[in-house]
Amino acid sequence: MKTVTLYWSNICLLRKQEIKFLEEAKERLLSQGVSLEIKFFGIGYTSTMADYLREEDAKIPDIIVSTDLEVFEDERVFSKFEDQLYPISDWVKIKTNEGIPDIYRGKGLLSYLAIPLVFYTSEQEKYNDVRLQDLIRQGVGITFGGINNSAVKTVVKAVWSHYGKEMASRLLSSGDVTNMPIEAFQKVRTGAHELALVPAIFAMRADEKERFARVPLDGALAVPSYMSALKSIDEETARLVVAELTRPESCEFYVKDGDFICGIDGTSEQKWLSDKEYGLQIPDLDWLASTSSEEFHEFYCDKIKTARTP
């Protein structure tokens, strides 16, 4: 029996479905001689994955699945295992539509899922066919949430990397940043705010009579989730586990229950976004490579006083 450790920090909104999915995967792997040991991170657990992996004595796992993007974007974390990655993007057939090519980050990070962030508004005429960058330039206040997880950080990094640091500053100074995305959604739902940038799972509750969901013309912001396999286990075992975790029929619930985009070929399309040609926005990879985590977090924590310094 081979033991494989999996660190998991994925979609808290679908936690029950994910746990069921993982338990079924564990059972199938056991029948193939693999014992999958899972350690969970994120909301509801003792630590974020990035915070744990920053620790000097942190144990690096064999498999990582994470929407905690600091795991891959904070060089203090990623440098610990970057040179140990198998090219798993070559092992799994990935979609070529739905913006999946936009979130590709190399062979070692499998584009597993994407949480699209779109507009949710009470003012249809005002925010039909608008670009996020134009709204920021105009000083329009946008509410969005997820201060101490990847949601707000991804938006800020994307705006800074594509449009400049001053635009990121303007976004935060004119906007209303909440602890969690659902709080931003509720502000529009209750009439406290007229425009939010929220995960599609919330925005798609719009009735298109009093509340409306719209995709920014410059593309939905995306919070991706990546899967990695490390060379701490043999390739045959790594391929076996990755194949089990990326079974299209097992991953289908992300699309049907969460309105997420699943990068695994063979899963259903996220219908609301599949008709759009806007693509997905993530932080520019050259900017990520040239901007240290310390520089980003100094700016981020200065602008958002409740943000935690890693």
What the block records as the tokens of 250 is: 């097992």
CA angle 88, 94, 96 (to 5 degrees): 140
CATH tag, 115-220+285-303? 3.40.190.10
> Is residue 295 very low, low, confident or very high in pLDDT (cuts 50, 70, 90)?
very high
Q: Where are the domains of the chain?
A: 2-114+224-268, 115-220+285-303
Copy the structure tokens of residue 61: 């796992």
* Residue whose pair of structure tokens reads 């970057």 in the numeric block: 82
Q: Hey, what amino acid is at 141?
A: G
> What are the start-end ranges of the E strands in 87-234?
110-121, 143-145, 176-178, 195-199, 212-214, 220-229
- Residue 276 is predicted with a pLDDT of 57
Structure tokens, 139: 């000083």
For the entire predicted model, the pTM comes to 0.94
CATH 3.40.190.10: does it fit domain 2-114+224-268?
A: yes
Phi, psi of 123 (to 5 degrees): -125, 85
* CATH fold match for the domains 2-114+224-268 and 115-220+285-303: yes
Judged by DSSP in three states, 164 sits in coil
Cα maximum dimension of the chain:
61
Residue 14's pLDDT band, with cuts at 50, 70 and 90, is confident
State pLDDT tens for residues 121-143.
999 889 999 999 999 999 999 99
pLDDT band at 40 (very low <50, low <70, confident <90, very high): very high
